[in-house]
Structure 1
Amino acid sequence: MINEYACRKVALRDTKSCLVCHKPSTTVLYNKSGPDWFYTCDIHLQDNPQFATPVYDKEYENVLTKMKSLKNELNSNAGASGSSWDSWVSKVFIKMDKDADKPKDTDPANTPEPAVRTQAQIQEEYNATLDTLTTLRKKNKMYQLSPQMFESRVQLKKREEMLKEQRRKQEEAYTNTDPDELLTKFSFPQVPNTSTNEDNGNNVNPGSI
């Protein structure tokens, strides 16, 4: 059985108790490789790695990587804006030295300067990326159980299969048994025959008493 469970919702009439807290729930985790399923509350699927963790797709991972990059860029710009006057002066002189080292025949008009984004632009893109990430988190329906939880489900399925196999063998043995063979193997209790005694009592001549 693969440790992949899809989160599904059932109708209110199909509500059953949660596996964790035993409260009524309409949320089901379903594993088609088992098959295996059980009811759980939505709150148990939120930030609860001891029970289950979400499994996100490639799109989510790409958006998350982009958001981390934007966050680092924001932090870097924030640190640069808060630097000291000496640091700013040093950067100015470094830029002047680089300009002095450029060839004299270079036409500045033909050298495009790299576009520099403002802090507000980076923050706006970061907020939009965060909204996208939040939407993808809400749309996610796949979960992976913790190792301990998944092992308990595997052992439960094994016990169920063993009991099912035992019942199948018992039913098969009973079905294939000849009734005459049962009579020879087992001695069934005999019902006392009281009809003869009753008949004898009814045929007694009253005059002979």
Structure 2
Amino acid sequence: MSSMSFPNLYTHRKVAETKAKSCDICYRLSTSVLITADNKDFFYICPSHLKEPAFCTPKIDTEAIEARKKKELEEEIERVKKEYEEKKKKKEEEKGKEADKEKEKDKKDGEKSKDKDEKKDEKDQENSKGSRSTSREGTKSPPVEEEPRIFELKPTFYQQRLLKKRQAEIAKRNRERLQDPTFFPSVPKNLP
């Protein structure tokens, strides 16, 4: 009977409106499902019941949170590296342009172009700051506090789920036995 047992950790999932079935508690149609990680058990439930402390307790999925944080950190590092490389290239290009301009023009013209370049650099920096803030907003989604997705049922409800699963398993085994032709005794062939 240990094959029928499953961990008391259920993940909350949504199904399509067309797949809605009655809630196990109140029998209203619901699109919310609680399912175990190994898919051994699932049942439909109204989202309002998930907030009832007498029914279940939310569990924090620390692994998923850590994985999400790590991914965001890696994306941030990549973005900063790209920005650094772009700035480095721009500075090298500008140094090369300034050297060419100084050779071609006299000091007065060179000073004017430097002033223009400095103003241009300031504008570029402001633009890059503005684009950096927008790119950050674009790549990094705002930290929305998600509702808990993993729940642990209270012992009473968990035992009910185990019992229901066990009864279903026994009924299935009985059906299989009844369909087996060797299950019933055969009619005696020899007369007494």
TM-score norm. by structure 2 comes to: 0.49
Higher relative contact order (CA 8 A, sep 6+): 2
Structure exhibiting the larger radius of gyration computed from Cα positions = 1
